[in-house]
Amino acid sequence: MRKDRGMSPRRNHPKGRKPKHEEREIGSSGEAIEEFAEGIYRVRRITGSSSTKPYRCPGCDQMIPMATPHTVAWIEDDVESRRHWHNACWNKRAHRAPRTERTRNAPRY
Ligand SMILES: [Zn+2]
């Protein structure tokens, strides 16, 4: 229990929304989970309309122009590892990996 003196409690300091872009993206829809030798990846398919910046694909080292549907993948525990891939490059990578890939939607928390 807190003592409350009843004098002007400071409760209405303005809380701006946190400018965290990642949080806005996650949770809206279809993330897949794919397992690779180096870890578990979360994989998202980006539509052209939600791609507003060009990115460099680590698979072929070429740019992915904006408004191009592509794939975003990152190691589940490491958001810093997030990369944008051409769909074809990601698929190639997935096929190269020895692990079986599978998709599940159940959140792990
Ligand atoms: Zn590529």
Domain boundaries, the chain: 30-96
pLDDT at 53: 94
pLDDT at 20: 44
What residues have their beta carbon closer than 5 A to ion ligand 1? 57, 59-60, 86, 89
**Distance (Å) from CA 85 to ligand 1 centroid:** 6
| E strands, 1-109, in order | 31-36, 39-46, 55-56, 63-64, 70-75, 83-85
**In one letter, which amino acid is 40?**
I
Residue-wise pLDDT for 1-56, tens only, equals: 566 565 655 655 555 544 444 444 444 557 899 998 888 999 999 999 989 999 99
Does the pLDDT value for residue 73 go beyond 70? yes
